[in-house]
Structure 1
Amino acid sequence: MTEHPSGAFARTMVAALAERGVEDFVLSPGSRSGPLAHALAEAGSGNPPLGAPRVSLHVRIDERSAGFLALGIARGRAAAGDPRPVAIVTTSGTAVGNLLPAVMEAHHSGVPLLLLTADRPAELRGVGANQTTDQVGLFGAFVRWAADVPASDLGERPDRVTALAERAVRAAVGDRAREDMAAAPGPVHLDVAFREPLGADGGVWSDPPRLRTPTGGIPIVTERAEPAPLPPVARGVVIAGDGAGDVAREVAEAHGWPLLAEPTSLARSGFHCIPDYVRLLESAHGADLAARVHQVVVIGRPTLTRAVQALIARAPALIVARFGARWREAPPHAQRVERDVPSSWLWSTAPDDADRAWLAEWRSAGARVHTPEGWGPRVAAATFAESLGPDVWGVVGSSGPVRALDRFMPSALAGAAPMLLANRGLAGIDGTVSTAAGIAFGAGRAVHALMGDVTFLHEAGGLLIGPREERPRLRIVVVNDGGGTIFSGLEHGGAPAANLERVFTTPHGADIGALCAGYRVPHRAVRSRDELRDALAAPAGGLEVVEALV
């Protein structure tokens, strides 16, 4: 067989990305992306050919699920301390558009993805060719960088592909020296034109060409001054939103302030944590405490409760850090906004001025959650929280489940908050099944995922994993209450019952057990706290669904 330009480009691209730390590729099948598919089939096999890199390949039929699987793998790797971009390969046309929900979430939550989308060469664009549309720039502001990559020709500059891979990876991981969106990790789009022939060519793998290192100058490094310490007020509060990290607990403890930590903040632990803060802030006593707050420090991005948003809105002094990938979009009345938590926040300039009575008052009213009784969505959430630990990570869907955990998840020992992740960049229900599977792959450990029935059904296709594909160690707990009941508790709940049911709660009548059987995924129905506890206690050996019928 004779090596052809498209095949050579694909092999060099895969090798160049692997050389720059990209180990995970997610592919959805298609003809125009065939050269990349053939290259990945070789590199992702158990015995790659001589010279090929060894990569991890996951194949999914649905591009929407593929996008969220890649996002989950990247999130799992980052949470495990090994952050790397994850590449997604699709064919042309609507396949590319199906990536948009995952790209939007990755943009807002700062997850590095490399979108390798196949396209027609220039001579087939704008002439009515089949499966051809305007893919260049399709993702707009949701990508850190995008390139329209012309089709390869014989005899072209050998380091072109290496240069593309280098720039794409650099843009995806973010540039900490920047002060704009390019500072945060995020998606990158390479729209690659492939000219026929597209089939396997039997070409050899070789090391990607090295880039010439620019010389002749000394880089100028401008040191950024360490931000000032936090003002030593007596009645402060630390609010830890999604992605805050354990440093939020450290800040609260350094200043003697109460810590209001959302379940996915990874900071819900320690003596200063007030796990029952949602119920407390909704009470008259909580309203009185909130009115006496002198300063609010927000770390991470809180999104779950209106009482917390009201506390932030009324803060006499507001300081914000680590507010997501779009960190500059903090509340407009914030006096200070920092991209990350400065080390100067981890000590107090006036430790003797701490008001111990202030913390004691918060603790006496909210240091212990009130465990729900009986059986229902809140009991299922509380039981799910019990199953998490060092060996079992958690993923939680948007809407009701994450808010139930916010009310009933207790505080852990200091520094021992369970790993609980969620797609809170845009807080949608899209792709939750595939995101959880990806986190299990990326972290290399068992994962329990909690989601509502509508969230599960919205991406039931995420259960579709081919017989030759690796299966995640993932146990999905589906709380089946017959529809989107969260709307009943919002302002829409005052609508006529028939209208509320039809256009908001949308009862589905689906047989989740039969659906799982169709995908050949083990399914178990539980109807009590004890049954759910037993189901969660068993070791997670593969993909399975536990349906909590409430």
Structure 2
Amino acid sequence: MFVKRLEKLGVRYATISPGSRSTPLTLAFTNSKKIKTFQIVDERSAAFFALGMAKKTGYPTAVVVTSGTAVAEIYPAIIEAYYQRVPLIVCTADRPPELRNTGANQTINQDNIFRNHIRLFRDLGLPNVKYSGLSSVIKTADELFETSYYKDRGPVHVNFPFAKPFEPDSYTDEIDSSLISKLSAIKLPSPKPLKYNRTEFNGIVKSLKSSRRGLIILGYNNYDVKFIKAVTRLSKKLGFPIYADAASGYRFGSHNKEMIIENLTSLLHSKKFKEFFRPEIILQFGGTPTSNIVLHFYRDSAAKKILINQYGDRFDPSLTAKTILNMKPYDFCVKALKISSGSPDSRWLNKIIEFNNIAGEIKKSFFKKSKLSFEGLIPETVFENVKGECDVMISNSLPIRDSDFFASTRVNKITTHCNRGASGIDGITSTALGISAVSKLPALLITGDLAFFHDLNGLHSSMKFGIPLTVILINNNGGGIFESLPISRYKKICRENFITPLNLNFRKFVEAYGGKFLTANSKSKFIQHLNASVDSRRLTVIEVKTDAVESKKLRSKIWQNVAEKIDFLIDEAENRQRPY
């Protein structure tokens, strides 16, 4: 009854990990003709795989595991889903309640075990085949789906205690067909429109009207085409440039590019630019920006800061935003377009765009001279050369930061994905494979060697289900991001405890999982491998060995050159205006 209800509600995908206690759940899901199931042995990998499917489809995906420590294995993916508001319906099998704390095999206390990172928990208790018991199962399915999909979007957890027997040929009860018909007639829930604070909205619009200089920040999110068009129009009407985090995906596509300042992370290294920039108001959609220099600018800015997202989440580590409006971003843009009108400072805006273009040219000139061993060059090379529409999963740590630092705006229709909720490096490959499993587009993953190592088990899903994925493996033999942190001054301790070189031959692992392994030590060879692997529609890993120390120096050199050029231009403009 539970699985049939999920079918009616529109759930179409589920991952199942093997276990005896979950036998009734496994049978119910695999017998479904509408829900496609993926049997994945490693529970952690299965949960991240489900996360990827839910991220791509935007629809709740089910996760099925047995009792005991199997339940704990899926926690990392639930945490990520919680902070990124990805809809998962987590179904855990359990022993009967009376066996808790008795030493019974594979029995732990699963009662609301994910309580700190779940949107709703329900325990169904042992099966009750009366109308009251079965109707309660259906209503619970409705409640879980509603919460996960729209009421409080994110992961939900339902615990299923089962006593033996589990198999259909060992049944203990019979149910009359008229009862099943009666249960099937229970109406499906219908979503109610979300309300927002009109007074607060009107106050924000009033502030927009009186502000001549503003900034729109797009943090991580899977923005749809409607919002992208609406926020582009709002940006032009207000005269506010858009800083689009690489994780937002807004830098890629055919929408208006003239308002994007994708080089803000470079410009903020200029003291003169920060003095000139000074927006009066900042509108932030989506999650927390990736770059620390943007976060520091946000914290120190005297601008009025407004967070706008559907559930009123505080994506503001600085705690300086005074207004959080729980409203759908698209609805906000559309309503604000109808009302707001002001007098933007066009001279200021044009200067910002000019500075952004100058920073972009400096970046390009560096890239032309750089070798592929420079980590910052790799994401930009991927975005520049990948053909057609595609999904690109970007790993945490350096890949997402280098994408944010250096990715230029492109007309390529690239949909970016990332796990920026908790920003861990676990489950990255499995998430990418989950995305690819339900996507009609080619899928790519840009990842580092530590993240790849953390999820080698995930490659098995590519082999088992024939899921294609092109993996760009940036191998600096350890945690290269620590070269950019103060701990790098303590060489021996940093090398042994933070960077932790793996010294692994990844070729053997990839080939063991049926994948193709390629290496590239030049830009031309890399582009050749990239295009061939995307066309091949199979698991292909392209390894690029990089130098973390040298990459750190080159990043700093780019930022230094941008800062010196912008400082010079602003000084020159100020000198021209001084009376003699």
TM-based fold match above 0.5: yes
CA distance in 2, matches of 1:474, 1:20: 30
Judge which range, 362-371 or 454-463, deviates more.
Answer: 362-371
Root-mean-square deviation over aligned CA pairs: 2.7
Check conservation: 2:389, 2:414, Cα contact below 8 A.
no
Aligned in 2, Cα 1:421/1:207: closer, same or farther, shift over 3 Å?
farther
Match 2:489 to one of 480, 490, 494: 494
**Which residue in 1 is equivalent to 2:466?**
471
Residue 174 of structure 1 aligns to a residue whose secondary structure is helix
Check conservation: 2:390, 2:413, Cα contact below 8 A.
no
**Which residue in 2 is equivalent to 1:527?**
521
Check conservation: 1:252, 1:259, Cα contact below 8 A.
yes
Count of residue pairs the alignment pairs up? 508
**Which residue in 1 is equivalent to 2:436?**
440
Check conservation: 2:122, 2:159, Cα contact below 8 A.
yes
**Which residue in 2 is equivalent to 1:122?**
97
**Which residue in 2 is equivalent to 1:374?**
371
**Which residue in 1 is equivalent to 2:47?**
67
**Which residue in 1 is equivalent to 2:246?**
263
**Which residue in 1 is equivalent to 2:137?**
161
Check conservation: 2:45, 2:458, Cα contact below 8 A.
yes
2:96 aligned partner, one-letter code:
P
Residue 464 of structure 1 aligns to a residue whose secondary structure is helix
Residue 57 of structure 2 aligns to a residue whose secondary structure is helix
Q: How far has the Cα of 1:329 moved from its partner?
A: 5.2
Check conservation: 2:384, 2:410, Cα contact below 8 A.
no
Match 1:354 to one of 334, 344, 348: 344
Unaligned runs of 5+ in 1: 1-11, 44-52, 79-83, 176-181
CA distance in 2, matches of 1:324, 1:453: 36
CA distance in 2, matches of 1:244, 1:36: 31
**Which residue in 2 is equivalent to 1:14?**
3
TM-score by length of 2: 0.82
1:312 aligned partner, one-letter code:
Y
Aligned in 2, Cα 1:164/1:344: closer, same or farther, shift over 3 Å?
closer
Aligned in 2, Cα 1:398/1:207: closer, same or farther, shift over 3 Å?
farther
CA distance in 1, matches of 2:310, 2:517: 36
Q: How far has the Cα of 1:472 moved from its partner?
A: 2.1
**Which residue in 2 is equivalent to 1:24?**
13
Check conservation: 2:66, 2:93, Cα contact below 8 A.
yes
Aligned in 2, Cα 1:450/1:40: closer, same or farther, shift over 3 Å?
same
1:479 aligned partner, one-letter code:
I
Q: Which structure 2 residues correspond to residues 93-492 of structure 1 after superposition, within 5 A?
A: 93-155=68-130, 157=132, 158-175=134-151, 182=152, 185-201=153-169, 209-210=183-184, 212=186, 225=198, 227-228=201-202, 229=205, 230-243=208-221, 245=223, 246=228, 247-268=230-251, 270-290=257-277, 292-322=278-308, 327-328=313-314, 330=316, 331-339=318-326, 340-341=328-329, 342=332, 343-346=334-337, 349-351=340-342, 353-367=343-357, 368=360, 370-371=363-364, 372=367, 373-376=370-373, 377-388=375-386, 391-413=389-411, 418-465=414-461, 469-492=464-487
Judge which range, 327-336 or 237-246, deviates more.
Answer: 327-336
Q: How far has the Cα of 1:188 moved from its partner?
A: 0.8
Q: How far has the Cα of 1:225 moved from its partner?
A: 2.6
Q: How far has the Cα of 1:124 moved from its partner?
A: 2.4
Aligned in 2, Cα 1:106/1:501: closer, same or farther, shift over 3 Å?
same
**Which residue in 1 is equivalent to 2:545?**
549
CA distance in 2, matches of 1:463, 1:208: 45
CA distance in 2, matches of 1:208, 1:391: 47
Q: How far has the Cα of 1:348 moved from its partner?
A: 7.2
Aligned in 2, Cα 1:208/1:28: closer, same or farther, shift over 3 Å?
farther
2:352 aligned partner, one-letter code:
W
Q: How far has the Cα of 1:387 moved from its partner?
A: 4.0
CA distance in 1, matches of 2:216, 2:188: 46
CA distance in 2, matches of 1:123, 1:499: 50
Match 1:41 to one of 4, 16, 30: 30
Check conservation: 1:433, 1:459, Cα contact below 8 A.
yes
Residue 111 of structure 1 aligns to a residue whose secondary structure is coil
1:273 aligned partner, one-letter code:
I
Check conservation: 2:372, 2:544, Cα contact below 8 A.
no
CA distance in 2, matches of 1:378, 1:232: 40
Q: Which structure 2 residues correspond to residues 79-94 of structure 1 after superposition, within 5 A?
A: 84-94=59-69
Aligned in 2, Cα 1:334/1:522: closer, same or farther, shift over 3 Å?
same
Aligned in 2, Cα 1:160/1:365: closer, same or farther, shift over 3 Å?
same
Residue 376 of structure 2 aligns to a residue whose secondary structure is helix
Check conservation: 1:317, 1:334, Cα contact below 8 A.
no
Judge which range, 340-349 or 376-385, deviates more.
Answer: 340-349
Q: How far has the Cα of 1:68 moved from its partner?
A: 0.6
Aligned in 2, Cα 1:23/1:429: closer, same or farther, shift over 3 Å?
same
- CA deviation vs aligned residue, 1:253-272 (integer Å, no higher than 9, x gap): 22112221111213226101
Check conservation: 2:89, 2:144, Cα contact below 8 A.
yes
**Which residue in 2 is equivalent to 1:8?**
none
CA distance in 2, matches of 1:129, 1:151: 17
TM-score by length of 1: 0.86
Aligned in 2, Cα 1:345/1:388: closer, same or farther, shift over 3 Å?
farther
CA distance in 1, matches of 2:18, 2:385: 37
Query: How many percent identity over aligned positions?
Result: 26
Unaligned runs of 5+ in 2: 547-580
Check conservation: 1:76, 1:442, Cα contact below 8 A.
yes
Residue 159 of structure 1 aligns to a residue whose secondary structure is helix
CA distance in 2, matches of 1:238, 1:221: 24
CA distance in 1, matches of 2:261, 2:143: 45
CA distance in 1, matches of 2:38, 2:67: 19
Residue 496 of structure 2 aligns to a residue whose secondary structure is helix
Q: How far has the Cα of 1:388 moved from its partner?
A: 4.6
Judge which range, 163-172 or 317-326, deviates more.
Answer: 317-326
Q: How far has the Cα of 1:345 moved from its partner?
A: 3.2
CA distance in 1, matches of 2:194, 2:315: 27
Check conservation: 2:515, 2:539, Cα contact below 8 A.
yes
Q: How far has the Cα of 1:513 moved from its partner?
A: 0.5
Judge which range, 28-37 or 301-310, deviates more.
Answer: 301-310
2:141 aligned partner, one-letter code:
A
Check conservation: 1:65, 1:461, Cα contact below 8 A.
yes
CA distance in 1, matches of 2:13, 2:187: 27
1:40 aligned partner, one-letter code:
F
Aligned in 2, Cα 1:19/1:349: closer, same or farther, shift over 3 Å?
closer
CA distance in 1, matches of 2:196, 2:392: 39
Check conservation: 1:296, 1:315, Cα contact below 8 A.
no
Q: How far has the Cα of 1:481 moved from its partner?
A: 1.1
Check conservation: 1:484, 1:506, Cα contact below 8 A.
yes
1:320 aligned partner, one-letter code:
I
Check conservation: 2:459, 2:513, Cα contact below 8 A.
yes
CA distance in 1, matches of 2:193, 2:400: 46
- CA deviation vs aligned residue, 1:73-116 (integer Å, no higher than 9, x gap): 000002xxxxx210000001110001111111111100110111
2:543 aligned partner, one-letter code:
E
Check conservation: 1:474, 1:544, Cα contact below 8 A.
yes
Higher share of residues assigned helix: 2
Aligned in 2, Cα 1:503/1:249: closer, same or farther, shift over 3 Å?
farther
